Chain A
C-alpha cells in the first residue's frame, strides 16, 4: 500500500525551529518528486515547497523562502522539512504529498503550532 506518514509537529515559540519528517512506503521513493502543502486552521490549502526526485532541485513559496529547507534521504525513503524563524502565521497542518504537476498521494498531516 502506498503510504506517507508525517511526524515532528508540535508547539514551538515564535522564532523557534522544528523539523518535520515524512516516511514513504509502498512505492519507489527515489523516482518521485515530493511536495509539502499546509493548511492553516479553518483555511484553504497552501503550497509550501517541492523537491526533485534526486534532491538536487528545491522550490519554495515566497512566504517560507530563506526560512524553510526541504531535503530528502532516498536511502531511507524519508522527506524532511527544516523550519526556522517560525512565525504565528506558520501555524497549520502540514501535509506531505507525492508529485509535482499533480499530487496523487497525501499523508494524514502533522500539526505545527507557533505560539508563546
Chain B
C-alpha cells in the first residue's frame, strides 16, 4: 500500500496568519494517464469530510481562494494564506492513483 505521511500532525495558528501542511507519498502519484490524483479534504468538528482540492491544485467550487494546493510526484502541500476561525478542523490528503486508496494520518488545525 502507498503510505501517505502528513506533517505536522498538529498545527496551532494565529488568525490571519498562513498555515502549511505537507503530504508525502511512498510512491509517485503520477498515473498512466498523466494525471496526479492527490486530494485534500477538510473535516470540521462533528462533520463529514469535505473535498477541498483535487488533482493536486484544483480547488472545489465554494472553497475560499485562501486555500491552495501544490506539489508533484511524491511531495505535496496544502496552504492556507490567512487562517480564519472556520478553518478549524482536521485536514487529510488522499491518493487516488494506486489501489487501495490511502489517506494521510490527518493534521489537526486549531487557533
Contacts and interface: CB of A to CB of B under 8 A. Distances in A.
A61 B50 CA distance: 22
- Place the interface of chain A in its size category: 20 to 34
A102 B92 contact: no
A42 to B, nearest CB: 11
Contacts of B50: 106
Nearest to A103: B51
Contacts of B106: 44-45
Interface in B59-111: 60, 90, 92, 94, 96-97, 99-106
A63 B9 CA distance: 24
Interface size class of B (residues with CB under 8 A): 20 to 34
Contacts of B100: 47, 59-62
A74 B11 CA distance: 43
Contact of A95 (B48, B60, B90, B97): B48
A106 B44 CA distance: 13
Contact of B51 (A59, A60, A102): A102
Chain A CB within 10 A, most for which of B37, B101, B102, B104: B101
Given A44-B104, A46-B103, A106-B51, 19 more contacts: A37-B49, A44-B90, A44-B103, A44-B105, A45-B41, A45-B92, A47-B101, A50-B101, A95-B48, A101-B35, A101-B37, A102-B37, A102-B39, A102-B54, A103-B94, A103-B96, A104-B54, A106-B50, A108-B48
